[in-house]
Chains A and B, each alone.
Chain A
């Protein structure tokens, strides 16, 4: 594949873009969509308008960041506090992009292409890309990812818009079920994406700590819980290392 002639490459560029689009329609893609159905319900319950919800899907994209942002809006956080909480919850995007870029890049890939494509990075598209990029010719990987990431974002923007409009006609029980989708999706996907045991400790502490801290400091609950429980998990991680090496 690496020795394709220019005109063949033009042809196969479209082919690989469509292959990326098709990769969207997969089990992880479907699960993500169910979480976005839940997000639409959450955004509506939080008082966002239709266009604000769809806008948020497009510009933020990462679901944990959006849920943190909604959480901050609900608890009446100020703009700087909300931005700080969202930024903290999204630091994980950096190592993910750091890992993905070498997979996609060739010597001739323009920088702006990588910056533009990085916007599509979130858990699901990242997992799909890391899984499938190795079977895509290197010069076609950015094209493939543009198809994959772009379709995921657009499809879920449309989905959130449709569910937002339809939500009023859902019985309360269905709405309750929709609103439970986000936490259960995060609980399981976050547990599965953990790289080290410390992440599971951080999850256990955070899930209990969050609501407890919320009683004391509702506007800063996420930041305080993140720092305190995250630090404790990190200390646990370091203590484990010392024990093993001693």
Chain B
């Protein structure tokens, strides 16, 4: 049952509700329920944070290596260089996200204009 499996107008919305809303709000509701009881640095929480972080990192990697839309027409090397430049700039300039974003975009545009 994929996102495009059924042709009914409501199917994508149901898909988003179950795989999106339910899958996120269940954790928020559990957070309210446990409010203050769970220890922030218990091994379980650290492990869960590790898995969640690796999962989101995998999404970042996939967005760069297998991009969609107009980004797919750029070269892989350019995308990786742009990301690396953004990350290094972010680390160098007081960990400012704005600086990282700006540096990555500048490198991407420069690469596209020169290439």
Measured CB to CB, the residues of A under 8 A from B are 27, 31, 34, 41-42, 44-49, 52, 55-56, 59-62, 64-69, 71-74, 76-80, 82-102, 105, 111, 114-115, 118-119, 121, 172-173, 175-177, 179-192, 194-196, 198-199, 201-211, 213-214, 221-223, 225-231, 233-234, 237-238
In the assembly, what is the distance between CA of A90 and CA of B29, in Å? 12
Please tell me if the beta carbons of B57 and A206 are within 8 angstroms of each other in the complex.
yes
Measured CB to CB, the residues of B under 8 A from A are 1-4, 12-13, 15-32, 34-38, 40-41, 43, 45-71, 73-74, 79, 82-83, 86-87, 90, 95, 97-98, 100-101, 104-105, 108-109, 112
Please tell me if the beta carbons of A230 and B51 are within 8 angstroms of each other in the complex.
yes
Please tell me if the beta carbons of A119 and B58 are within 8 angstroms of each other in the complex.
no
For the complex formed, measure the closest distance between the CB of B111 and the CB atoms of chain A, giving whole angstroms.
Answer: 10
For the complex formed, measure the closest distance between the CB of A124 and the CB atoms of chain B, giving whole angstroms.
Answer: 10
For the complex formed, measure the closest distance between the CB of A157 and the CB atoms of chain B, giving whole angstroms.
Answer: 14
Knowing A65-B23, A67-B63, A180-B108 touch, does A226 contact B16 (C-beta < 8 A)? Answer: no
Contacts of B18 in A (CB 8 A): 79, 83
For the complex formed, measure the closest distance between the CB of B96 and the CB atoms of chain A, giving whole angstroms.
Answer: 8
Please tell me if the beta carbons of B83 and A101 are within 8 angstroms of each other in the complex.
no
Please tell me if the beta carbons of A172 and B73 are within 8 angstroms of each other in the complex.
yes
Residue of B nearest to A186 (CB): B60
What would 14 A/B residue contacts be, using CB atoms closer than 8 Å?
Answer: A59-B17, A65-B23, A67-B59, A87-B24, A94-B31, A97-B27, A102-B35, A118-B25, A177-B109, A187-B60, A187-B86, A206-B58, A209-B57, A223-B55
Residue of A nearest to B57 (CB): A206
Contacts of B95 in A (CB 8 A): 188, 191-192
Please tell me if the beta carbons of A183 and B28 are within 8 angstroms of each other in the complex.
no
Please tell me if the beta carbons of B54 and A184 are within 8 angstroms of each other in the complex.
no
Please name 12 further chain A to chain B contacts, defined as beta carbons within 8 Å, in addition to the given A188-B87, A222-B59, A229-B54, sorted by A numbering.
Answer: A52-B13, A59-B20, A83-B23, A90-B23, A91-B48, A176-B69, A176-B74, A179-B63, A183-B83, A207-B57, A211-B62, A226-B58
Please tell me if the beta carbons of A185 and B101 are within 8 angstroms of each other in the complex.
yes
In the assembly, what is the distance between CA of A206 and CA of B67, in Å? 17
For the complex formed, measure the closest distance between the CB of B2 and the CB atoms of chain A, giving whole angstroms.
Answer: 5
Please tell me if the beta carbons of B31 and A118 are within 8 angstroms of each other in the complex.
yes
Please tell me if the beta carbons of A79 and B31 are within 8 angstroms of each other in the complex.
no
Which residue, of B17, B19, B54, has the highest number of chain A Cβ atoms within 10 A? B54
Contacts of B59 in A (CB 8 A): 64, 67-68, 71, 89, 186, 210, 222
Contacts of B53 in A (CB 8 A): 92, 190, 194, 199, 202-203, 206, 230, 233
Please tell me if the beta carbons of B71 and A118 are within 8 angstroms of each other in the complex.
no
Contacts of B82 in A (CB 8 A): 180, 184
